[in-house]
Amino acid sequence: MDIRVLGWRYEGIRGGLANITIDLGSEPARWTLIQMPNGTGKTTTMTLFRAAFSHEAWTPERVRSLRANDETKTGLFEVSLSIDRKLFRLQLKFDYIAGTCVYWTTRSELSGGGLEEGWLLPSDIRRLMTSEFVRLFVFDGELAKEIRTVGKDRAAAAIKTLYKIDLLSELEQRMQRLISAEQDRASSVSTASEQKGVSRWKNAVSQCKATRTRLASEALTLERERTEQENRKIELEAKVATRITSDASLVVRSNALKAERLELDKQIFDTSVQALSAFRTPAKLGVRLLDRLHALGGKLNHLKLPKTISSEFFRELAEQQRCVCGREISDVEKTAILERADLYLADDQIAVINKMKLALRECRADDATFGDLVEALKGHLRLLSTNSRALDQVELDLIEAGDTEVESWRNELAGIAAKLPILYSKLEKINTREPTRQKILGCADDTNIPMCEAELERCEKKLATATNTRNFTHQASATRRLIGKLIAKSLDGLREHVRIATNEKLIKLAPSESLQVSKIGGALELASSGLVAKEGVSEGQSLAVAYAFLTSLLADAPYKLPFIVDSPAVSLDTEVRREVGELIPELFGQMIMFVISSEREGFADAFYDRDDVRYLTIWRDAAGKTATGDGLADFRSFHSAESLT
Amino acid sequence: MKSIREEVATALDEVLKEAVGESDEFKRRFRQLIENTSNGNVVDTDVVEVIRLASVPDELDE
C-alpha cells in the first residue's frame, strides 16, 4: 500500500499559517525540503500532520492553542493524500469558540466524492495509524531519545504493527472470545469445570443405560408370565367347556346363557353410546341446566350482543374519502379508525356468537332423556351380573355332581384372574407412553421404559454438548498456543532482521563511533562500548540510531509511507549530517523535510545535485505577513536569524 | 539476509513442524488462516473450522 502526501493547507492557524496552501502536485517530488525559520509553524504543522494521520482526539485547550488571533473563530488543516493512487482529503475543522475539532474526509473512490464527516481512511490504514506508530514517520525528534530507552515498548510495538503481527495477536484474542462464547452456550449443561461436566454426564448416561436394561428385562419377564397365565386360562376354560359338553342339559343351559350374554353385551354397548351422546348435549342433562342456558340466551338478546358493527365495517370506512357523518377522512383519521377497528369483532366471530345465541335461546330437551338412558344401562348391567352368576352356576353344578377336577380348574382360574390384573398393571407402568397414565401410575425414569429412554436421550445430548465444549476448549487452546509461538518466533526473526539492517546502516552513518544495536527488546538496546555507554550517547548519535532503525524498519514493510521530519539534522555535527544526508534520501519513497537555514550546510546541500527535489521557503516578511518562495534559488539565498547564530 | 516476509514464513514453518500431533489438513488450514489474517480477511466461522481440525488427545476420553 503506497501512501503519499500531495499537499496541505491551513486556515486560521497560529504561527503565520493563517492562509497557506502547499501543493506538491499529483506526482509529488520524491524529496521536498521546506525551509521555515523558527516560529513560523513547523512544530504546529508536525502536530497537525500527526493528528490527521492518527485521528487524535482534541481537548478544548489544545484546539484553542491553535487559534491565529482573537478574531479568528474557526480554523482548518487539510491534508491531500494519494493512497494507492486514490485521492483522499482529510480535514480537521476547528471551532475555537466551542473548543472542538471535527474530522471530515473526501474520497475520490466514492461517486460524488463529497465531504463526509469522520476519519474515513481505508480500514487497513486505520488499524495501522495509532498515534504511537504515526510518530515513527511523522518523525518526532523526541522519539530519537525514547526509541532506545529501556522500558519503552515503542520499537517492538512498531515492528508488531508494521508487519501485521498485531493481527495475529487479535486472532489469538478472537480465539479466546470463541472459547468463552462456546462455554457460555454450554453453561446450561454444566457450570462445573469442563472435564467434570463431561464425567458427570457420562455417569448419568451409564446409569440410564443400566436402568433401561433392567427395565427391559423386567418387562420381558412380566410379558412371559402374562402370556403363560393367559394361555393357561384359555386352556382351563376350554377344559371346563369340554366337561360341560359331556352333560346335554348343562350344554343347553350354557348355550342359552351365552346367547343371552351376547344380546346383553350388544344392548349395553348401544345404550352406552346413546347415553354418551346425550351427555354431550348440556340441555339434555337436566332441567336446571336447561333453564340456565335459556337465561344466558335471553341476556345476550336483551343486551343486543354481539354488536352488529364489525371491524370490517371500520376497515372499509378507513378507505373512504368521507366518513358516514360527512367529514373528510385524512391520514390521521384513517390511522385512528384502523387502530380502533380491532376493538370490534370480525364478521366470522359475530356469526359464531349469533349461532350460539340462537342455539341457547331455542334449545329444547326432554329432561328425562339422559336419566332414562342411565336407568336402562343400569338394568342391562344388572342382567349381565345375573347372567354371569347363572353361567357360573353351570360349572358349580358340575362340582356339586362330584367333579373335583372342575373344582381344581376353577380354583386355578380364580388365582389367574387375581394375578392377571396385577401383571397388566405392572406392564402398563413399565411400558406406557401416555403422559396422563404415567402421572396417575406414579411412573419415573427408573420404573418406566419410555421415560427412561427420554432421560437417556437428554443425558446423551448434555454429554455431547459437554464433550463438544471440552474438546473445543482444548482444540482452541492448542491452536492459540501455536499462534502464540508463531508471534514469538516471528517477532524474534523480525527484530533480528531489523537489528542487523540497523547496524549495517550505523556503520555507514557513524563509522568511527562503534554504534551498534545489541538487542531490540521493548526498546533498542545499544551494545556497551567505551564510546557508547547508555547515558553517554549524544543527541546526534541518538538521531543516527533512530534513523538507522526507522529506515530498516520501514524498508521491507508492506506499507510505503511518506517520511515527514522536522529539523532532521540540526543536532548532528556536520560530518554525520553529511552521512545522514547521503544515506536517508535513498530510504524513503517520499520525504518531506522541514529545515532551518542552518541545516543547509552538510544536510540540505546533499540534495542539490539530485533530481526530483522540490524546494520551498516560507518566512514572514518585515510587515509580519507570511510569504512563500518556490525553487532552489530562494531556498539557498534565504537568510534568517538562526543561520547567523 | 532473508526478507521480512521470509522471516514470518520461516517462523510459521518452524511452528508447524513442532506441532507433531496435528494432521496435515489442520496444518494446511492453519497456514491459510494465518495468511488470511494478515490480509484482514477472516471471519469467526473460518477460525472455528480450523480449531475443530485440531487434534484431541485420547486421554481426554478415558
pLDDT in tens, A496-549: 888 888 888 888 777 666 778 887 776 677 775 544 444 566 766 777 788 788
Strands in A309-427 per DSSP E: none
Rounded to the nearest integer, the mean pLDDT of chain A is: 84
* Distance in Å, alpha carbon of A473 to nearest chain B alpha carbon: 9
Summarize the confidence of residues A112-130 as an average pLDDT. 83
| Gap between the Cα atoms of A243 and A394, Å rounded | 11
Q: Is the pLDDT of residue A156 over 80?
A: no
Rounded distance between C-alpha atoms, residue A209 and residue B41, angstroms: 47
Query: Is A309's pLDDT higher than 90?
Result: no
Choose the closest CB to A174 out of B11, B47, B52: B47
pLDDT for residue A356? 79
Within 10 angstroms of residue A23's Cβ, the number of other Cβ atoms is 12
Q: Cell triple for residue A141?
A: 525528534
If you search the block for the grid coordinates 514469538, which residue do you land on? Answer: A488
- Of A108, A110, A123, A125, nearest to A1 by C-alpha is A125
Other Cβ atoms closer than 10 A to B51: 26
Residues A328 and A293: beta-carbon distance below 8 Å:
no
Over residues B37-44, mean pLDDT? 83
Q: Please check the confidence at residue A149 and state whether its pLDDT lies above 60.
A: no
Q: What is the pLDDT of residues A251-277, one digit of tens each?
A: 898 899 999 999 999 999 999 999 998
Query: Which of A170, A195, A494 lies closest to B7 in CB terms?
Result: A494
Record: contact A493-B51, CB cut-off 8 A: no
Contact (CB<8Å) B40/A470: no
CB distance A626 to A17 below 8 Å: yes
Section A35-53 average pLDDT: 90
- Going across the sheet that includes A17-23, the strands are A17-23, A3-13, A74-83, A86-95, A100-107, A115-117
- Looking up cell 500431533 gives B21
Place of cell 546533499: A606
Across the A:B interface, residue pairs with CB atoms under 8 Å apart total 89
The pair phi, psi for residue A116, each rounded to 5°, is -125, 140
The helix (H) or strand (E) run that includes residue A18 is strand A17-23
Interchain CB distance below 8 Å, A178 and B48:
yes
Residue A87, phi-psi category: left (phi > 0), alpha (psi -120 to 50), beta (remainder): beta
Find the CB nearest B12 among A171, A486, A501: A486
Instruction: Look at residue A150 in the predicted model and tell me its pLDDT.
Output: 40
